[in-house]
Structure 1
Amino acid sequence: MPTVNAYAAQTATSPLAPFQIVRRELNANDVQVEILYSGVCHSDVHQARSEWGPSLYPLVPGHEIVGRVTAVGAEVGRFKVGDLAGVGVLVDSCQHCDSCSAGLEQYCENGSTQTYNSRERESKAITFGGYSTSIVVREEFVLRVPESLDLKAVAPLLCAGITMYSPLRHWKIGAGHNVAVVGLGGLGHMGIKLAAAMGAQVTLFTTSQGKAEDGLRLGAHHVVISSDKAAMKAVRASFDFILSTVPTSHDLNPYLGTLKLGGQLVIVGAIDPVEVHGGQLISHRRSVSGSNIGGLQETQEMLDFCAEHGIVADIELIDMQDINAAYDRVVKNDVKYRFVIDMASLKREQPEEKNSAAD
């Protein structure tokens, strides 16, 4: 079984450090990908620090993976050695429940397998993510990466991009719609770019006047400072659709008041409780929903859409050795707008430890 270099957290309080992990031998339907770039998601920080429930250690984060195919199993038909490939949040699902049959593997009724901090369906070995030099994934969960896009800036599309694209597509957002995005971070900046490319009029809600110029640069047509009561009053009953990217518990009611009759607010950031006043919903038949990444077919559609419109993430490229400092900056929201690791830096590591078993 191949052993590859990686960075791992050993406990919830230890920094990420060089480590070696074992990747499985290729099955007939597996694709092996040399990882060139791996995005850094805020959820990587949460899980490395066991903030979303008990994590599985050692933990190798990373679910925004872009690279080149280096080997394929005997039954693989969609990929060949040398192809660009991507791997996102999921690496497996049951493939037969109603959700999977509908191309909604992210809602697998038997539990999808996450790219890291999860267990493989058959072997029950811990899954290890993209902070490593290579990965082995079943063909159905590998994505084609368009050659025309800046490869390093593609990586965040595999999580941040699809998280915003999926609800926009599900609610059929396009020309003639007034859309608002709450928050300008890794998710929000992608939401602005995608909604604008779909033809919608886009408004950024932010509490920071300093983000207004950047919001307009990214494609927003308007910016509203949500702490300004007069500005919020001026946009009451204005929007068809709102995407809330705020990652923590927050009050939705000021934003609900800006929805039109029948308007929809979709939560993609917060997994904590949020405050909703029933009267805000009843008075204008407004709705609040949630959305979780996208299935494999929709993720491929998103990549192709981004290639058509020249959309990638705004990134800061870092070396693997700088990951712990990057985590601290992610927590402080000090990045515009996504860190991406140049995995060539990991190839220079000489790990001190070896994970002798993949479980």
Structure 2
Amino acid sequence: MKVHGYGALEAGAKMVPVQFEREALRAGEVAIKISHCGVCHSDLHQVNDDWDNSLYPCVPGHEIVGKVTAVGEGVEKYSEGDVVGVGCMVNSCQQCANCKAGEEQYCTGPKGCTLTYNGPAVPDGTNSYGGYSDGIIVREEFVVRVPDALKPEEAAPILCAGITTYQPMKHWNVKMGDRVGIAGIGGLGHLAIETAKALGAHVVALTTSPEKKEMILEDLGADEVIVMSDEKALEEAAMSLDFLLSTIPYKHDINSYIPLMKKNTTICIVGNLIGFDNVDTSGMVFNRIQLAGSLIGGVEDTQEILDFYAEHGIKPDITLIAPDQINEAFERMKNENVRFRHVIDMSLLKADDGDEKIEQPVRGEVVGRDA
């Protein structure tokens, strides 16, 4: 199946039009014509090789929504014409304890989970290409159904930003009346606020941008906003939070957040994969505060959060773009000048047989299915 899209041919390169062949549909798999794909900050990190793990050519995109065009033998959940989504994974061993527990993102099989783009979690020399393209083939177990109450472009960011912020709230049992801090009010943070509010929490937004305060209160519905440069506000908020989710996607001063936590509480990191410098652990030790992390979420939880958003009328705040605007979108995202999530309208893709031809990616075996 010939596919057109946008990709980076080397680290830090501009995104360019590309074409490649997807492997033929096999038993247990679903072919999808992509209508929309969200633009995640991790896409920019991967294109720039900020995490020293990128594979090139790199065709990003793991917030994929489209329509089923064909199903392989044995597929039972989906039919041609269904509106479906694909998140951050397209494969896993399906046999380990984590996979069986519905946490495929922590697969302990030989390759780990296979990411929607940028290959297996445990590198083996193969690559995978994502949703900045007009078609994809995915095993049935990694496809989710998009509820009718969500438009395709609205559903796309939920498949990474939504599940990434929901899963830790579920894991650490955020509940009615909890005081929940959200650090970093961007693509992930704006959804975290709305999710926490729907769970009944009292939401305290933590931002370094004073100019965002009114918008965060009035448009996103946070109960409070603390500007991190306001020392008086920080002092008054000391030991007031039951849980804090940091969505900030780069190194930052974690020490300023620790005094905000009550005893026996958790700060969860979902955005920063680079690390922290000079962490002062004394406040953590004296109040038994955990500094933890969380990676996306399993397929079952991804379906759960899609249904949750549909039920509660939560809709990501998006900016639709054409595929040929992706380089501009990356610049705006880098400069924090987007509200709040770019979504690519793949119906506007101008496919051309002169697009850069790149090597065909190789899919892993379909466990438990006839290959």
TM over 0.5: yes
Task: For residue 357 of structure 1, report the CA deviation from its aligned partner.
Answer: 3.8
Task: For residue 48 of structure 1, report the CA deviation from its aligned partner.
Answer: 1.3
Give the 5 Å matches for 1:31-46. 31-46=30-45
Partner residue, 1:305:
308
1:194/1:37 CA distance change after superposition, 3 Å: same
Output the CA distance in 2 between the equivalents of 1:356 and 1:334: 34
Of the candidates 281, 290, 307, which is equivalent to residue 278 of structure 1? 281
Task: Kindly indicate whether residue 346 of structure 2 is the aligned counterpart of residue 324 of structure 1.
Answer: no
- Conserved? CA contact 2:4–2:351, under 8 Å: no
| Stretch moving more, 234-243 or 110-119 | 110-119
User: CA-atom RMSD, angstroms?
Assistant: 1.6
* Code of the aligned partner of 1:325: E
Task: Find the residue that maps to 2:356 and give its secondary structure.
Answer: coil
Task: For residue 13 of structure 1, report the CA deviation from its aligned partner.
Answer: 3.4
Partner residue, 2:197:
196
Partner residue, 1:170:
171
Partner residue, 1:346:
349
Task: Kindly indicate whether residue 27 of structure 2 is the aligned counterpart of residue 24 of structure 1.
Answer: no
Task: For residue 332 of structure 1, report the CA deviation from its aligned partner.
Answer: 0.8
Partner residue, 1:127:
128
Partner residue, 1:83:
82
Output the CA distance in 2 between the equivalents of 1:296 and 1:126: 21
Task: Find the residue that maps to 1:147 and give its secondary structure.
Answer: coil
Of the candidates 199, 221, 225, which is equivalent to residue 223 of structure 1? 225
Give the 5 Å matches for 1:42-191. 42-110=41-109, 111-119=112-120, 125-191=126-192
Output the CA distance in 2 between the equivalents of 1:297 and 1:9: 31
Task: For residue 120 of structure 1, report the CA deviation from its aligned partner.
Answer: 10
Give the 5 Å matches for 1:202-281. 202-216=203-217, 217-274=219-276, 275-281=278-284
TM (norm. structure 1) is: 0.96
- Conserved? CA contact 1:182–1:205, under 8 Å: yes
1:119/1:21 CA distance change after superposition, 3 Å: farther
CA deviations 1:126-173 (Å, max 9, x no partner) are 211001111000000001110111221210111111010000111111
- Conserved? CA contact 1:18–1:350, under 8 Å: no
Task: For residue 246 of structure 1, report the CA deviation from its aligned partner.
Answer: 1.4
Partner residue, 2:291:
288
Partner residue, 1:14:
13
Task: Find the residue that maps to 2:257 and give its secondary structure.
Answer: helix
- Conserved? CA contact 1:181–1:202, under 8 Å: yes
Output the CA distance in 2 between the equivalents of 1:54 and 1:140: 26
Task: Find the residue that maps to 1:304 and give its secondary structure.
Answer: helix
* Code of the aligned partner of 1:22: E
Output the CA distance in 2 between the equivalents of 1:241 and 1:120: 29
Task: For residue 58 of structure 1, report the CA deviation from its aligned partner.
Answer: 1.5
- Conserved? CA contact 1:188–1:245, under 8 Å: yes
Output the CA distance in 1 between the equivalents of 2:359 and 2:180: 51
Task: For residue 11 of structure 1, report the CA deviation from its aligned partner.
Answer: 1.1
Task: Find the residue that maps to 2:357 and give its secondary structure.
Answer: coil
Task: Find the residue that maps to 1:157 and give its secondary structure.
Answer: helix
* Code of the aligned partner of 1:271: L
| Stretch moving more, 210-219 or 25-34 | 210-219
- Conserved? CA contact 1:329–1:335, under 8 Å: yes
Output the CA distance in 1 between the equivalents of 2:349 and 2:43: 18
Output the CA distance in 2 between the equivalents of 1:120 and 1:346: 29
Output the CA distance in 1 between the equivalents of 2:361 and 2:209: 45
Output the CA distance in 1 between the equivalents of 2:356 and 2:173: 49
Output the CA distance in 1 between the equivalents of 2:25 and 2:208: 49
- Conserved? CA contact 1:120–1:126, under 8 Å: no
1:81/1:285 CA distance change after superposition, 3 Å: same
Task: For residue 43 of structure 1, report the CA deviation from its aligned partner.
Answer: 0.8
Task: Find the residue that maps to 1:176 and give its secondary structure.
Answer: coil
| Stretch moving more, 132-141 or 273-282 | 273-282
Task: For residue 352 of structure 1, report the CA deviation from its aligned partner.
Answer: 2.7
Output the CA distance in 2 between the equivalents of 1:84 and 1:298: 18
Task: For residue 12 of structure 1, report the CA deviation from its aligned partner.
Answer: 1.2
* Code of the aligned partner of 2:6: Y
Output the CA distance in 2 between the equivalents of 1:266 and 1:126: 30
Output the CA distance in 2 between the equivalents of 1:120 and 1:267: 19
* Code of the aligned partner of 2:251: S
1:16/1:238 CA distance change after superposition, 3 Å: same
Task: Find the residue that maps to 1:214 and give its secondary structure.
Answer: helix
TM (norm. structure 2) is: 0.93
- Conserved? CA contact 1:120–1:127, under 8 Å: no
Instruction: List alignment gaps of at least 5 residues for structure 1.
Output: none
* Code of the aligned partner of 1:303: L
Output the CA distance in 2 between the equivalents of 1:273 and 1:235: 25
Task: For residue 347 of structure 1, report the CA deviation from its aligned partner.
Answer: 4.5
Task: For residue 218 of structure 1, report the CA deviation from its aligned partner.
Answer: 0.6
CA deviations 1:262-287 (Å, max 9, x no partner) are 11111111112224322201222211
Task: For residue 20 of structure 1, report the CA deviation from its aligned partner.
Answer: 0.6
